[in-house]
Structure 1
Amino acid sequence: MSETIVRLDQASIFQKDNLILQDVNVEMRQGEFVYLIGKTGSGKSSFMKTLYADIPLQEGTGQVAGFDLEKLPESDIPFLRRKLGVVFQDFKLLPDRNIDQNLRFVLKATGWKDKEKMDARIKEVLEKVAMDTKDFKFPHELSGGEQQRVAIARALLNDPELIIADEPTGNLDPQTSVEVMKVLQEIHQSGRSILMATHDYALILKFPAKTLKCDEGKVFEVVQKSV
């Protein structure tokens, strides 16, 4: 039986004083691919930010990658985040450095020191997303799809237990979205857990998986036909 990677029980999620989601009961097991859907403003981003401790969990209990969210001291947040890889809609690559330097910056920031090990890890993750020949390019020299591949590579650097992808195809055309989705599928098939927020129902139909929906302050699982 695979272990639980994410569990929220009777959780309420607030943005400052505003209640965004209440009575959230969610379990995600290791190795699962789960979609998170819902209208803009329905709480998808707040849900995800709670998982990587950008928003503190104020009510209920929560566990992510072995960390208790409701008791998490601030000093432990970096250790939780090292077990997670986060992919954003707008890539968040540093514009003033090339792809190799972008990835090296993350490794150094998370405690890597050995240059040869860093070189090998950067090569490895870029190969996984078919970007290993473009490590010398700057973000503005890449297409949106290529930038998102690099962002996925960056999320893989510290061998995360869970990848949280917040609308990773939101800024991409349909064909590029499918290409990026195939990259995520390959990563998932290697045993990685992925939680992906999306508006793109065509992708869900093409790559069906367990689907959670944020709606009217609740989070619930939906069967594929009612998406």
Structure 2
Amino acid sequence: MSDTILELKNAAIFQKDSLVLNEVNLEVKKGEFVYLIGKTGSGKSSFMKTLYGDLPLREGTGSIVDFDLTKLREKKIPFLRRKLGIVFQDFKLLPDRNINNNLSFVLRATGWKDAQKMKLKIEDVLGKVGMKTKGFKFPHQLSGGEQQRVAIARALLNDPELILADEPTGNLDPQTSVEVMKVLQEIHKSGRTILMATHDYALILKYPSKTLKCDGNKIFEVVQRAV
């Protein structure tokens, strides 16, 4: 098992037939926290979708958590996603069931059977995001920040090797964004690797880390100057 968790070489990212990013060369190592920045429409989401198998990698080479993205077949995508934790901007919680049942739904869908083990796992991940007492609530009874915490808990259920967070604070006010960011920082400190797409520059200044930028059909590393 190498230290490299994500690597792309001369990759081209397409959205349908249009080229979004070209000559992408990057590497993310185990334990890193990496930001992906860029204007709306610069290719961040298409890039993320390519990483979790929603868009095919048609040119160049790429590997993520030991999966070859150029050879990724439809039937392998669920196995890839079990090794990834994906956090979306709009939470994607199921509105017709409470938080515990949202999480147990994911566990069952990924092959868990033992009810006691599932219960303990759900308590564990909700504890990690400060939501241990909220499992009986329904999504609409929670604030946006609380819903995003639950979404992060859901991403942790299968002990992912890499967390892909696509604009996780995009729908949150600044104060709540910082709270959610603190949760992600704690998770990172526990040894998780996180790639986070964001356009929230205030957060990057507050929690500086390796930063990749999408601009002009390219992705490149930005050297952060001390503010």
TM-score by length of 1: 0.98
Matched, 1:215 2:205: no
- How many percent identity over aligned positions? 77
- 1:89-123: per-residue Cα shift (whole Å, max 9, x none)? 11000000000000000000000000000000000
d(CA) in 1 for partners of 2:11 and 2:143?
A: 39
d(CA) in 2 for partners of 1:94 and 1:27?
A: 34
2:57 alignment partner in structure 1: 57
Equivalent residue runs for 1:69-218 within 5 Å: 69-218=69-218
AA paired with 1:65? V
Alpha-carbon RMSD across the aligned residues, in angstroms, is 1.3
Name the SS of the counterpart of 2:5 in structure 1: strand
Task: List, as ranges, runs of 4+ consecutive aligned residues in structure 1 with deviation greater than 4 Å.
Answer: none
d(CA) in 2 for partners of 1:154 and 1:43?
A: 25
d(CA) in 2 for partners of 1:226 and 1:192?
A: 26
- 1:73-92: per-residue Cα shift (whole Å, max 9, x none)? 21111111000000001100
AA paired with 1:112? W
- 1:132-182: per-residue Cα shift (whole Å, max 9, x none)? 100000000000000000000000000000000000001111111001000
Unaligned 5+ segments in structure 1 are none
1:15 alignment partner in structure 2: 15
d(CA) in 1 for partners of 2:200 and 2:2?
A: 28
Unaligned 5+ segments in structure 2 are none
TM-score by length of 2: 0.98
1:24 alignment partner in structure 2: 24
Number of aligned residue pairs: give it: 227
AA paired with 2:10? Q
Alpha-carbon deviation of 1:225?
Answer: 2.8
Residue 174 to residue 153, structure 1, CA distance change in 2 (3 Å): same
Alpha-carbon deviation of 1:2?
Answer: 6.6
AA paired with 2:115? K
Name the SS of the counterpart of 1:204 in structure 2: helix
